Each structure stands twice: as structure tokens, then as C-alpha cells.
Structure 1
């Protein structure tokens, strides 16, 4: 068996973003045990370690012009005796690969956020249209949670028999330990639903000494914090390296995940792997993935204030959440993710 894995999106964005980390971690695990059974399909020859010791197909056409490379890809697939193809992200550019004929095809759908976006851009609308158009060409969908499987079934009418739930995982480097890099207490967040900022503002007025640190895209949080009079207490970190992130998780008094939709929930799971107490919105996949190891609350300011106050004031609760977090994170591993993915490859290539 030989499976072509499309890594074009990884080439475009490298380390940034959860779906790109999915590509890197999954491919590295597959290479370790099944390296002679995979071939990576991407647009430009690269010195990146992801491509060391593995067969490649280079298709120069990329981005929105990906479809121009389909004839060349079709020929390469025949030449390399590729038995199946796996597209790792549902980006519009990569969906054109489903125009390849005569082999089983697999698509990982990380979430259906683009169908729930309240203010979709033209690019999002194009991606939605393309995904709806190619869904009938997909033999198996891989999703990271039962919640996303339900979304896929309800929004795109994909039969449950064509969906395989394979959770993702924190990298093994996310673990407790290391020196604290900050003296003052802080609360950590990734992106931020407005309810989280409002709850923090109320807690600041109540006299807590904490800062709020936010990594990733800020989505207007800086202006909102200024309007609430707490700008000096909010640090917008932007993109941080993995090493910086591990240190931030380890030093945080808690990690908060106020959000209106979630397809899996990797940041709170990474926090848990570092033993950091987690509070999260009771939405999407989060109850399923975090279970009783986190405090799950509705997106209502009073509930967030109450939960955050409990974690700040109750040493025993923080210790209990930390211990439960470590146990919960241990349930997930990239070894399991890779092997379950490999079984899907076997399934689609042997089904006839």
C-alpha cells in the first residue's frame, strides 16, 4: 500500500496554526512506523525535516490555482503507484486535489467553523461551496471529535458510515516543569470570546492582581480592553514559539477558553498536559474532550466570574484540577492518532 498525503498547506504556513501542527505531528509519526507506505504531495522542494527520508511528489501549481496541477498529479499518482490520497486540511486550495480520479480519497475536517461564521468573507464562501461540491468525491472523512462528526452529518449530510473519529493530541513536549518566567500571577487565554474579557474586567475591578495574557490572533481584544479600562492589564502576545507556550502554560494560574464553537480543543488540552487548571465554554467538542477535568461554564459573564474566582481563591480546587488535567491529557497521543489514521488507509485500500 502507498498513500499520498497532501502537505501543501504546511508548506504555505509552516509552524503557525493548529492544523499545521496536525500535519507535522501526524506525518512524523506515520514516517516512523510506515515511512515506506507514504508519499508526501506538495508544491516546492523543501529542506524541512518533515520531508527527510520519505518519497515526494512535487506539483508546482498551488494556492487558488491548485487545479492547474491536477493533470500532472494524476500522472504522478499512476507513476508512483499511489493507492489512496489523504488531504489533511479543508482549505479551498487543497480541496481541488479531489479532482484526481480512480483512487480512494480521505479528507480530515478539523471543524465546520466556516459554515457557522456569522460574517463570512468571500474566501470563506468559496471554501464552503468547494467543500459542498467535492464531498461526494471523498471516501472517508476523518474528524477529531464526535461533536465535529455530528456537525459534518447535520451540515453537509455526510453519512455517519463514512466518518471516522480520530482525536488529535498535545505534543509530548507539553508537560509540567520548567522555571516560571514571570513573577506576577496571570491568566492565560488563546484568542478570546468577549465574555472572557468582560469577566476579567469585573475581576480586576474586584481587586485581583492578575494580568491576562492572550496568545494567537487578538481579534479586536486590544481595543475592547481599552474601552473597558483594563488595557494595561492585558498583554497581547501574538504568535509564540512552542517553547514559550509551554512556559506560559506552566506559569499560568489558569487557562481560560471562552469560545462560541470548538471542533476539538487543542489549546486547553495542551494546557492540561502541563498541569494547568482549565475553564472552558460548555460548547462544541469541549465537554467531550475535556470531560470533568475542566470547569465547563455557559457563555454568561456571571458564570465566568464565579468560575474564575473559585480557581483563584481555592488552592484545593486548583490542585485538584491540575491533577485531573494531567490524567485527562494522558488519554491522547499522536501514536494513537497515527495508528488509527493508518487503519483508515487500510480500510479504503482493501474495501474492494
Structure 2
């Protein structure tokens, strides 16, 4: 909760929200001594600030010491890392990106994760992950028994489903961004090299269209530098918004001609489902977990095939019946995933391990 509400953090937020409904006053949320980010609505949550350290030192020293001093309660760690040697815990490992390609990350981040993730996995009671694809990668890279890993799918948060009438807000928002409703191509994610925005930009620049490309996202310290911002700044028809709040993101999804997600690797891939929930046709990579998540509701591209990405975008922006069909399929597809069902499955895992 001290970081922006994006993929990993959104999974943790939705799981905790669901568990609070189930357990009422039986849960404590432990955080380091840092400010909670403004993107979280947690005013009534049972949050306890512990320790004096931050980041990995808090996680590996302050947190386990607090737990040991307080009768070793069951710890649920939901953000891809956890104390290495605390054994009474259920941990989330959402993907194996640092094992698949360490070059996507800073040297320090990649090597830290490659050191601690196997220790966390082997010392925990249970591992939860977010797709069958991620489960197979965990088993492959860490040599963990299949029965130790459970899949809890991500879903679309309620605010993307129960959308307010955005008509008035849209006018002000789009005027501010210099955009026209329904006349742009959209990409949303962190500016992480594996999200492959460079291929999207290269493909876009070969398309004969007046539609701008809008890229939404921010770059974290963990990621390797890919000079994406300098590439974006060279072209007037590419709009970079940086991080936006969910209310603005919903407007961008609702009003895009199509959404493109050419990621090289995903543990799940929430943005395509969010786009579907907002009625936006989607184009995604044919890699990792994305076919598992998107089913028949997306157009698929090879993320390394610039010409293929270009041709698929051209098809999507020129074919009205196709976009309508994708929108209808997307509306059915995102409903197959539910935070509530994943929370109840997590609760079953907790009950089995409360020994």
C-alpha cells in the first residue's frame, strides 16, 4: 500500500479486501513506516505500522521478528516476496519474470529475486499464483511439487464494471489531453521492457492513420532503462500520460478505438480484462498467460512481429463489425473471472493451513 495501485498491488489489495469481509476483526495488515499511497481507499482497514526499517530490510528483519514475538501467527504475503525463513506463511509468486529474462530488470532487483524466491517457495506452507501458465513456470524454475501451488485468477475491480456516466467528465478530461473521444489507439501498463511498448510504437509509426497512440503508465526503479520516454517525445502523434488514477483510466478505456497489449511475458494480464469490461476491443500477445486469460475475446499477435502488429491494428481500426464482435465477446469473457471466487479459494487454503 506504499506503492501505486498497479498489477501486483491490485491483486494484493483485492485479496485483502475480500479477506476482511470474511474474517472481520481477525486480520491485521502489517506495513512498514511509510506513507500509504493516495490511490488506496483503506481508511477503515485494521492497519498496523511495525518496525523502523523499509523495503527489503523491513521484510526480512522487522516483519519476521514481529511475528516471532507475537506467537508466530499465519502470515499471508501477497506481493511477490516475503520473509525468506518464516515458515508459517502462505506466499504469492505471481510470475517468474526475473527467471525468464533478468535483463528486463535492474541488476540488483533481478539478482535479489532470484536469490529469495526459491527460499520463500521452499519454506512456505503454500504458494498462490494467478494463472496456470505461472504455475507451470514456478514448477519448472524452482522445482516445487505441483500440489504446493494453487491458482487464484485475477479479475476486474468493481470500479471498472460499475462505471459512472462519464459524459461530462470525458469532455473536460479529453480536452485537457488534446484527445478526441473514440479516436485513438490505447496502450496501458508499467513502462517495463517486457511490456514491449517499443514494438507497439515501431508498428504504430508504420500505420497510415490520423489516430494518435496513447500510452498510459509509469516506470518503476526495478526496471531496466529502455529509453521509452525519449522515443515517445520524438513524435507528436504519440501521447504519454504517465500514471493516471482509475477514474481517468476508465475514461481512456471506454473511449479508445482499440486497446493493444503486446507484452512479451505475463503472469496474468489485467489490463486486457479491464479494457473488455469498459467495452474496448483488444489486441494482445499470443504469449505466456494471455491466451488463457483472453480466450476468444481478443485478436492475437506475435509480440516480436512488427509487421504483424501493424496489420492487426489496421484491421481493428478499419473493421467496425469486428470491433463490435470483440466488444461483445469481451463483455462475456471478463465475467468469467471474479475476485470474490478467488478470495473464497484463498480462504479455503488458509483454513487448511491454520494448524
SS of the aligned residue for 2:295 comes to: helix
Q: Is the CA contact 1:28–1:50 (under 8 Å) kept in the aligned structure 2?
A: no
- Structure 1 residues 55-66: aligned runs within 5 Å: 56=48, 58-66=50-58
Equivalent position to 1:168, from 151, 154, 159: 154
- Which of 235, 257, 267 is the aligned partner of 1:253? 257
Q: Deviations over 1:70-127 (max 9, x none)?
A: 333211244xxx2x21111124xxx22x4235x3x11111111111234241232022
Measured after TM superposition, the shift of residue 249 of structure 1 is: 0.1
Tell me, what secondary structure is at the counterpart of 2:300? Answer: strand
Separation of aligned partners in 2, 1:45 and 1:263:
28
In structure 2, the partner of 1:282 is: 286
1:264 equivalent to 2:253? Answer no
Q: Deviations over 1:232-274 (max 9, x none)?
A: 0101111000000000000101110011111100111111111
Q: Deviations over 1:36-81 (max 9, x none)?
A: 3322222249787536253747344332322332333211244xxx
Matched, 1:178 2:166: yes
Answer yes or no: is 1:18 the counterpart of 2:22.
Answer: no
Q: CA deviation at 1:340?
A: 1.1
SS at match of 2:239: strand
| Deviation readout 1:106-150 (Å, 9 max, x if unpaired) | 111111111123424123202211112332101111010001001
Change (3 A) 1:63 1:244: same
1:151 to 122, 126, 137: 137
User: Who is 2:327 aligned against?
Assistant: 322
TM-superposed CA distance for 1:197, in Å, is: 1.2
**How far apart are 1:296 and its partner, in Å?**
1.1
**Bigger Cα displacement from structure 2, 214-223 vs 148-157:** 214-223
Q: Is the CA contact (8 Å cut-off) linking 2:128 and 2:151 kept in structure 1?
A: yes
Partner deviation per Cα, 1:206-227 (whole Å, 9 max, x = no partner): 2x11000001136423333466
**In the aligned structure 1, how far is the partner of 2:330 from the partner of 2:166?**
18
Query: Which consecutive residues of structure 1, in runs of 5 or more, have no partner in the other structure?
Result: 1-9
Q: Count how many residue pairs are aligned between Structure 1 and Structure 2.
A: 323
Q: Are residues 53 and 135 of structure 1, via their aligned partners in 2, closer, same or farther at CA, if it must alter by over 3 Å?
A: closer
2:17 pairs, out of 20, 25, 28, with 28
Secondary structure at 1:272's aligned position in 2? helix
Match of 1:338 in 2: 343
> SS where residue 264 of structure 1 aligns?
coil
Q: Give the TM-score normalised by the residue count of structure 2.
A: 0.84
Aligned to 2:310: 305
* d(CA) in 2 for partners of 1:46, 1:250: 32
Q: 2:223 maps to which residue?
A: none
Asked whether the 8 Å contact 1:174–1:273 carries over to 2, the reply is yes
Helix, strand or coil for the counterpart of 1:321?
helix
**2:260 & 2:71 partners in 1: Cα distance?**
45
Equivalence for 1:68 = 61
5+ residue gaps in structure 2?
Answer: 220-225
State the partner residue of 1:187: 185
CA distance in 1, matches of 2:42, 2:286: 36
Instruction: Provide the residue aligned with 2:80 in structure 1.
Output: 90
Contact 2:285–2:300 at 8 Å: present in 1 too?
yes
Task: Please tell me the root mean square deviation across aligned C-alpha atoms, in Å.
Answer: 2.2
